[in-house]
Amino acid sequence: MSITRHESSEIYSKVVEANGFVFTSGIIPSDLSRDAKGQAEEVLKEIDRLLALCGTDKSKIVMTNLWLNDIRHREGVNEAWKAWTGGKDTPARATVEAKLVDPRMLVEIAVVAAK
């Protein structure tokens, strides 16, 4: 099996290609002053970039893990999500409330996509 790692550090790779799939790490926003919807939009844009780097796109996402620092942010994040997906080719998805690395961080998203 061939494994290709992209944007790697000593701790993790931002995205990994293996066995016909693309796996992102948990993608977080850099602008922590934005609301949950704005942070989600930023994260989804980065996911688009990473998927394109690996020769795939959001229409091929099969699984998403979405972490919110407060489940009440779900509505704003879902607005960003629906605008991003256009309501089609939606993957399986888990959404959970979790304590994130920085209290200003409202959302983190990881995806698995087919090549």
At 23, which CATH number? 3.30.1330.40
Quick one: pLDDT at residue 2? 92
CA-to-CA distance for 12 and 61, rounded, in angstroms?
A: 21
pTM of structure: 0.96
**Burial class, 79, CB count within 10 angstroms (exposed 0-12 / middle 13-18 / buried 19+):** middle
Q: How many domains does the chain have?
A: 1
Phi, psi angles (nearest 5°) of residue 6: -125, 145
Phi and psi at residue 61, in whole multiples of 5°? -70, 130
Question: What is the tens place of the pLDDT at every residue in 44-102?
Answer: 999 999 999 999 999 999 999 999 999 999 999 999 999 999 988 899 999 999 999 99
- Residue 40 structural domain: 3-114
